[in-house]
Amino acid sequence: MFRFIVFVLLAIGLGGFGTAAWIAIHPPAAGPPARKAIMVQVVAASRALGGGYLLKPADMTTIAVPRGREGPDAIAASPEALAGAMMLHAVSPGAILRAGDLLRPGDRGFLAVALHGGMRAVTIGVDTITGTAGLIWPGDHVDLILTQLFPAEPRPERRVAAETVLSNVRVIAIDRRLVQGDDAAKEPAARTATLELTALQAEQVSVATRMGRLSLVVRSARSDDEPEPAPGAAWAGDVSRIVRDGMVAAPSARSVTVYQGSAEGQEVRF
């Protein structure tokens, strides 16, 4: 009986060893490889955005999501391409931006929706210098500075003056013209900025465009509770000690620079 049990155990052991050897020599067939998900890049909010807000590139980011899970109307453009678009309703941080969430400047009715009640949209011409070198974005708040020349003034310190004619106005659109092809010389120097103004401010800007050169000055995004006093006018004598001390000789010939709208100034001598 004892021998029989030993033989049975040996048979079981040999059978198990043979089975293990056979599995090692003939591994089971591998299943089909797991399909790698195809990712797509979409635009999402980098922070909480409220309705009526004009987008800037810093307000957006791009995230990768599996294709098919981005949902309908997800936007695959770059954040820079959406700069200036207006949010139609609030979104939370990380939310995927969709076509129905915003209105772009080229869409019909954009200005009418972007303006607050009772306000007007006024467009002025600016160049790469007066427009702060292209660093102004829709939604920024700016001051409007008027610079005037008085060539007939006998006192040198009173021939040039600058003053802030409007303070803390909102930019609602910027006209950016792209270079055609690779020739940078074809890029127009003049650009336009559209401001949100009251009816009286719109009239003041219309007059100011005929008086001299307008420049935009970007204000801080941090709002102060205390109202800021209006700055006084700055004259040439306030800026330059040489002019103030009378070290500048009177010009032998007089000239006037004429500005027409957003066109470059034309000097007329007499």
Structural domains in the chain, CATH included, are 39-103 (3.90.1210.10), 119-221+231-245 (no CATH)
pLDDT band at 113 (very low <50, low <70, confident <90, very high): confident
Residues 200-252 pLDDT 10s? 999 999 999 999 988 888 887 765 555 677 778 888 888 888 887 776 665 55
Q: Which of 154, 48, 134 is nearest to 97 (CA)?
A: 48
203 CA to centre of own chain: 28
Of 41, 110, 38, which Cα lies nearest the Cα of 75? 41
Q: Is the dihedral of CA 110, 207, 238, 258 positive or negative?
A: positive
Cα(159)–Cα(251) distance, rounded to whole angstroms?
A: 12
Q: What is residue 74's DSSP assignment?
A: B
Alpha-carbon span 122 to 205, nearest angstrom: 8
Hey, what are 39's tokens? 């990712």
Q: What pLDDT band is residue 152 in, cutting at 50, 70 and 90?
A: confident
Given a cut of 90, is residue 197 above it in pLDDT? yes
Token output for 79: 């954040």
Asked whether the predicted pLDDT for residue 12 surpasses 80, the reply is no
Which amino acid is residue 71, in one-letter code? G
Write down the pTM of the prediction: 0.62
- From 52, 47, 111, 43, select the one nearest 80 (Cα to Cα): 43
Nearest to 107 by CA among 24, 173, 166: 173
SS3 116: coil
